Structure 1
Amino acid sequence: MSSAQVRRGSPQVESTRTELAECLNALQERLDNSHELDACCLRYRDLKIRYNEAVFEFQDRIRTLEAQLAAASSFGVIVPPDTARRIADLESQLARSQSDLQVARDRQSALASELRESSTSHQAEVVCLEAAIEHKTRRLRILRDNYERRLRVADTTIATHSTELNRLQDRVSTLDQDI
């Protein structure tokens, strides 16, 4: 292998550089995903706070209505038909709202689980890519050191041969003069 080939880089070095560049690109993509995941976590926390506040207000209203209904029932209050319909509507709304609340809780739980799984998966990918980059970096250092060592040996050999060539040319010149 000539010193020019060593300086330009062998196909193995170029392949390793390409792989390293691909690993770096993949790591950057994972880092971008990680930032996006962090933003999703923040949005999720904000939505959870607002959701919990709405649930608390709703439950407070339910307790108030139930207390009013219980008080009215215990005193044997005669409820006008319009109010009875209104109470029936409110009870129906209450049942639907409780069902919606359970669906929302289930969805919230599923989203939280999915978010945890996604975060774990992304973290594992980042760790794997970091290990691959570290491995490629070590491999490139080893290749560079080997090529530098070979280049020094080649330079020494060239210098030795140049010295020998000059000596032989001097001897030929001396012999030509003697003839």
Structure 2
Amino acid sequence: MKLRSLLCILIWVLAITMGNAQTLPAGRITNWQKAGLSDTLPEYGNVVNIMNHGAVADGVTSNNIAFSNAVSALNGQPGTIYIPAGNYLFTQSINITTDSIIIRGDGINTRLLFDMNHTNENMFNIRGTISTTIFDVPNAIQRNDTALTAISVSGISNGDYILLTNNDSSIIF
């Protein structure tokens, strides 16, 4: 009788522990709707449905080529790749090398499944380039200065980031 009571208590404790193990506290849940974007998400008129490019939402058929074709259909322009509800298998990394692409699904009803045969690869590779232009600043700049004079500002727009460097060894060392 004692053994039976002990077994019932053990099962009850395990059931409560296991039931709570899969619940995230509200403070730890991440809202991925903006995915780190601090501003509002842009709405692009160019929307490409992955289904129109050969995608199969069965969770078994690879959708690598369909996704690549959907990105190509944007023709290098800003746009949205729409992935309707379903299970989409990918067997290699999704590579995005173009600026201003949004991947949008139907929330929890759109599942991207990655089976890359135990290789140590990223699911998404998002790569871009940063163009650099060098401008000469003829006058010394002091710490906490709020303005500088450049010989030319051609190519600089309001809101651009500027990286200032100094190769003067007498200041550095």
Which TM-score tier does this pair reach, normalised by the shorter chain?
Answer: under 0.3
Q: Structure 2 length as normaliser, TM-score?
A: 0.28
Q: Structure 1 length as normaliser, TM-score?
A: 0.27
Question: Over alpha carbons, which structure has the higher Rg?
Answer: 1
Larger relative CO (CA 8 A, sep 6+): 1 or 2?
1
Kindly indicate which of the two structures has a greater share of residues assigned to strand: 2
